[in-house]
Amino acid sequence: MKRRTLLSGLITLPLLPGMARFSLAESMEHETGMTVTPLDLPHSHWRDKVSAEAWNVLFEEATERAGSSPLDKVYEPGTYVCAACYLPLFRSEDKYDSGTGWPSFTQPIEGSMGTKQDFKLIWPRTEYHCARCGGHQGHVFNDGPPPTGQRWCNNGVALRFIPATDALPELRS
């Protein structure tokens, strides 16, 4: 099928429960000044680059068990990058203890995330993913603290923490 035909077909499909609505990927300006261009790579590309647990979350949209990630209790200064492609996604300043057992943030780094609505629960919720590799990170809710009132509830296994004293890793693809 031609790509254009496929895309226009997706746009005109009615929204049904259980279906996800994808926003079409475009390049975004990342807060660091770089342009984030979505990688057009099959999910299998990342199989041998991340752990099996991380792969299931990132590319099968699995959810890690609450309280299982050591990153839930990390509050040192630093940057949280995508476990697959290393795009910087969150700053430690925006992390807080939500008490849910998942690393939680009030906001991501601007230009780092794409979102889509999903209907895996009865009510719609907003899924978000790395804007570069498309890896699923978590869901965003409107019950967070100031200043945004948002709770970006993230799977710790989908992140790597880079302490402020370390250099950020090169993006990988």
Residues that are catalytic: 153
Closest separation in Å from C-beta 154 to Zn ion: 13
In the block, which residue shows the tokens 């995330």? 113
Site string for Zn ion, 135-164 (x = CB under 5 A): x-----------------------------
103 binds Zn ion (CB under 5 A): no
Contacts of 152 (CB under 8 A, 6+ apart): 90, 104, 105, 106, 107, 108, 128, 138, 140, 144
89 binds Zn ion (CB under 5 A): no
| 8 Å CB contact between 80 and 88 | yes
Q: Which of 50, 84, 109, 140 is in the footprint of Zn ion by CB under 5 A?
A: 84
Q: Which is nearer to Zn ion, 54 or 153 (CB)?
A: 54
Contacts of 9 (CB under 8 A, 6+ apart): none
| 8 Å CB contact between 126 and 144 | no
- Say how many CA atoms lie within 13 Å of 137 toward its Cβ: 35
130 binds Zn ion (CB under 5 A): yes
Taking the C-alpha atoms of residue 72 and residue 74, their distance in angstroms, rounded to an integer, is 6
Q: Which of 36, 50, 82, 109 is in the footprint of Zn ion by CB under 5 A?
A: 82
Closest separation in Å from C-beta 27 to Zn ion: 14
Q: Which of 133, 153, 157, 158 is in the footprint of Zn ion by CB under 5 A?
A: 133
Closest separation in Å from C-beta 137 to Zn ion: 8
The helix or strand, by DSSP H or E, that contains position 9, with its residue range, turns out to be helix 3-12
Site string for Zn ion, 28-67 (x = CB under 5 A): ----------------------------------------
Closest separation in Å from C-beta 71 to Zn ion: 16
Between β-strands 125-130 and 113-118, what pairing exists: parallel, antiparallel or unpaired? antiparallel
Counted residue by residue, the chain has a size of 173
Taking the C-alpha atoms of residue 130 and residue 88, their distance in angstroms, rounded to an integer, is 9
85 binds Zn ion (CB under 5 A): yes
Instruction: By CB under 5 A, name the binding residues for Zn ion.
Output: 82, 84-85, 87, 130, 132-133, 135
